[in-house]
Chain A
């Protein structure tokens, strides 16, 4: 078990390149006790390197999807554009908690429909509107921002500091977005394809849990098992619904059950964050 670390820093920081947004969440904790075991150190390093790999892959996937989307829009290929848009949306859903959900980034990448005129014509929601409501060419206006966003994301991620507990907290945030903005208040209001977000977020959360699994198994196997069970239940629930379903095709009780499972999962990831607090990857840049 962890101990005797004089000073442990758990922090996440992102400098949003090219904008004025600077966000940081940082904690400094002094913990008395003994040092982590070699196995724990290795598991902590695995957690952060594994999670970082997922995040970088998502950023690269986002860039690739945006490029495909741009091409499809220019060719007037609606079906290919829809596929690329869904892939980009899925990548962004994984990245969202790493960006700390900052609305500044959301306006550029996400462009929530409810944000009002300021975010109209921006982000993936502008693309959604073009794909499902109307001329494809409308989506081109959002492309310059989106194309610039991909490389900026990758650059920004190199300045991201993440510790194992931060990985768990990111899953709390991802699930929070799922509950408060997707399940409670549909995001995809033109396409009515919120299942894209649901499945992408749960997939990302599972990736986060997998990254933490070795460390959590050493530190708090009971909590790990409980969290895993909750995620399995959510996946089992959604396996009964075709992935191509529109929001209305998903039965109300499924949404309600999913909402409650997500609330429990949030709590469990919060507990997990506490169990692994203080473990460091051993370097600032994960």
Chain B
């Protein structure tokens, strides 16, 4: 048993006690010395929690996702504020591979659930977001709501399940180890007991987008490369224009932040996998093997939407996914996509796989970007017949924290 798993000396396991007496202030020191307090940390595989922007956005996409959607049960503004601050302190520890507490009192249930002990940080990032419903009258935040933070409209074909839709808060946990990501959300949910309730926990495995130039495009469960034209972390000019909220955009507290749109997209895999490959490629507009557009040879060849076949029909069909979604046909709109595959067993009524895509994307203005784009996709994307959107949410992700900042403080102050 490691020293971090030794009996807790303190009594009581309240959130405040855990995080204040548990040594959060010493996180910096602990990171500097990976042996500090006997905790298992792995700074070599950790993503800095502090910074201008939150982690988990332009961070090279990790392999696993745990997405927690929360609703606030408390009605007291100060209680919510305290909990967010505690979440921030917990996040500092979790993202360097530390458990929530250093020591344990065997007389009590352990404050850290323990499943991530010894797994290190695994490049864990925690990205926090506020849903539109947080800005109603409950917490006196209505004047702080960014004007572009509004519930997404119902799109044609949506079959939304309330369990996966909306929410007051979201936490996106991404890591190279699924258990680390799960542990993070579980820990935050336990810290928030009584203040927030976990509406849903969605697990994704296998990134479907590359967010850095070093990463190769991944494949979604349809078998096609996804996110070929995604924004990447190195695209500074594009990120400034399409990702980060500017100082003059709206609410000052969001400067340097961004907006997350989370859509749970059920893939009708039985239908897709019974569809001939040529038709699949026409629906996407790309070749499955190489990822090249139907008018090209290599993945990153520019699609030629003007090209016609010998019969005069577009080589890339009018309803092909890449045509309808392309920036060229959408006023140049870009998104930073950061999706993950999900696999959730078998539908008991049909015997078909319950699987699909947790489509996550970040943008500067969800109204002008995601909503405008999805409106077109829902109307005319041939891929629509193979997918069903069953969950939907939008969240304001504030900028990153300085080492002396508290999570949520800029929202309330």
Q: Which of A27, A103, A119 contacts B384 (CB 8 A)?
A: A103
Contacts of B313 in A (CB 8 A): 11, 13, 24, 26
The answer to whether A28 touches B385 (Cβ under 8 A) is no
Q: Which of A104, A117, A262, A277 contacts B379 (CB 8 A)?
A: A104
A10 contacts chain B at the CB level, 8 A cutoff: yes
The answer to whether A263 touches B154 (Cβ under 8 A) is no
Residues facing A in B172-230 (CB within 8 A) are: none
The answer to whether B347 touches A259 (Cβ under 8 A) is yes
Residues facing A in B34-63 (CB within 8 A) are: none
The answer to whether B350 touches A263 (Cβ under 8 A) is yes
| Count, A-B residue pairs, CB within 8 A | 163
Residues facing B in A148-190 (CB within 8 A) are: 165, 169, 172-173, 175-176, 179-181, 183-185
Cα(A29)–Cα(B310), bound, Å: 12
B406 contacts chain A at the CB level, 8 A cutoff: no
Closest to A185 in B: B159
The answer to whether A256 touches B157 (Cβ under 8 A) is no
Cα(A274)–Cα(B278), bound, Å: 10
Known A20-B379, A115-B157: A102·B385 in contact at CB below 8 Å: yes
Cα(A172)–Cα(B385), bound, Å: 11
A106 contacts chain B at the CB level, 8 A cutoff: yes
Cα(A173)–Cα(B196), bound, Å: 42
The answer to whether B268 touches A256 (Cβ under 8 A) is no
Contacts of B347 in A (CB 8 A): 184, 259
Q: Which of A20, A262, A267, A273 contacts B350 (CB 8 A)?
A: A262
Q: Shortest distance in angstroms between A163's beta carbon and chain B's nearest beta carbon? A: 11
Q: Which of B275, B311, B352 contacts A179 (CB 8 A)?
A: B352
Contacts of A260 in B (CB 8 A): 350-351
Interface code B252-288, partner A: CB below 8 Å = 1, 0 otherwise?
Answer: 0000000000000010101101111011011100000
Closest to B388 in A: A180
Contacts of A169 in B (CB 8 A): 275-276, 279
Give the most central of A10, A21, A29, A184: most B CB within 10 Å.
A184
Cα(A203)–Cα(B140), bound, Å: 58
Cα(A174)–Cα(B268), bound, Å: 12
B411 contacts chain A at the CB level, 8 A cutoff: no
Interface code A74-112, partner B: CB below 8 Å = 1, 0 otherwise?
Answer: 000000000000000000000000001111101100001
Give the most central of B160, B349, B386: most A CB within 10 Å.
B349
A42 contacts chain B at the CB level, 8 A cutoff: no
The answer to whether B351 touches A270 (Cβ under 8 A) is no
Known A103-B379, A118-B156, A259-B350: A22·B278 in contact at CB below 8 Å: no
Interface code B153-167, partner A: CB below 8 Å = 1, 0 otherwise?
Answer: 111111110000000
Contacts of B326 in A (CB 8 A): none
Known A25-B382, A106-B156, A259-B347: A172·B352 in contact at CB below 8 Å: no
B399 contacts chain A at the CB level, 8 A cutoff: no
Contacts of A9 in B (CB 8 A): 309, 311
Q: Which of B24-32, B234-242, B314-322, B359-367 contacts A (4 or more CB under 8 A)?
A: B314-322
Q: Which of B268, B317, B378 contacts A103 (CB 8 A)?
A: B378
Closest to A25 in B: B282
Closest to A263 in B: B270
B380 contacts chain A at the CB level, 8 A cutoff: yes
Cα(A71)–Cα(B385), bound, Å: 33
A116 contacts chain B at the CB level, 8 A cutoff: yes
Residues facing B in A229-286 (CB within 8 A) are: 255-256, 259-260, 262-263, 266-267, 269-270, 273-274, 277, 284
Q: Shortest distance in angstroms between B130's beta carbon and chain A's nearest beta carbon? A: 23
The answer to whether A274 touches B153 (Cβ under 8 A) is no
Q: Shortest distance in angstroms between B85's beta carbon and chain A's nearest beta carbon? A: 36
The answer to whether B379 touches A270 (Cβ under 8 A) is no
Cα(A118)–Cα(B156), bound, Å: 7
Q: Which of B153, B314, B349, B385 contacts A173 (CB 8 A)?
A: B385
Cα(A60)–Cα(B173), bound, Å: 54
Q: What are 20 A-B residue pairs whose CB atoms fall within 8 Å in the complex?
A: A22-B319, A23-B319, A24-B319, A24-B382, A25-B279, A25-B382, A27-B278, A28-B311, A100-B319, A118-B156, A119-B154, A165-B276, A172-B274, A173-B271, A176-B270, A180-B388, A259-B351, A263-B352, A270-B276, A284-B311
User: Residues of A at under 8 Å CB distance from B?
Assistant: 7, 9-11, 13, 20-29, 100-104, 106-107, 112, 114-119, 165, 169, 172-173, 175-176, 179-181, 183-185, 255-256, 259-260, 262-263, 266-267, 269-270, 273-274, 277, 284
Given A9-B311, A176-B274, A273-B276, 8 more contacts at CB 8 Å?
A9-B309, A28-B309, A107-B156, A118-B153, A175-B271, A255-B349, A256-B351, A262-B350
User: Residues of B at under 8 Å CB distance from A?
Assistant: 153-160, 266, 268, 270-271, 273-276, 278-279, 281-283, 309-311, 313-314, 317-319, 347-352, 378-380, 382, 384-386, 388
